[in-house]
A and B are shown apart, each in its own frame.
Chain A
């Protein structure tokens, strides 16, 4: 089955700086890569996703890049704000399998 590794487990950045979270996956058949944000005590919510037919996708301050050859994808958040503080999960899915999630990154925005 799919295996997703996520780094770092904790990331602390100054407000206004950029944050980058990286993930690798193992199954070359995976073709869908979403990112979820989870605030304390709440459910994971989708913030952006990318499919394997594109290399980059952007939505305002959030962007995701995908390198199929290397089997890794990254989340980039620019101009970070206090409300960006949360746990972020990457995930991968291929074929008829369910989504496999990374272990999460706790993003801390320092004022």
Chain B
């Protein structure tokens, strides 16, 4: 398996622009997580899906952030409009949930820079 695949690896954009990050989870995994990593705040859970349904989006910082999972093999995280403070590494992760927690597998991340 290729693992969790994220695109793009790097994104540089200007303040006010829309940014879309993409994620393909590991085939067969039924849960998908979006995390944001910064030096100041560490790894923060933004939102997670189980069987394509958003379960907890309490970590989404504000209405400028939205996430979708239209099917089991694809998810997007959108920021509109983007701001410099959104600059961070965004990780997608997936696992198979079935009553007992299984390990999270992370993608390589998207490094977002908003100028």
Contacts and interface: CB of A to CB of B under 8 A. Distances in A.
User: Do A and B belong to a common assembly?
Assistant: yes
A43 B107 CA distance: 7
Given A34-B104, A99-B45, A100-B45, A44 B91 contact: yes
Interface residues of A, number: 22
A102 B42 contact: yes
SS of B interface (majority): strand
Contacts, number: 46
A93 B107 CA distance: 20
B43 A31 contact: no
Question: Which of the four size classes fits the interface of chain B?
Answer: 20 to 34
Nearest to A97: B56
SS of A interface (majority): loop
Contact of B42 (A96, A98, A101): A101
A111 to B, nearest CB: 26
Contact of A46 (B55, B91, B103, B108): B103
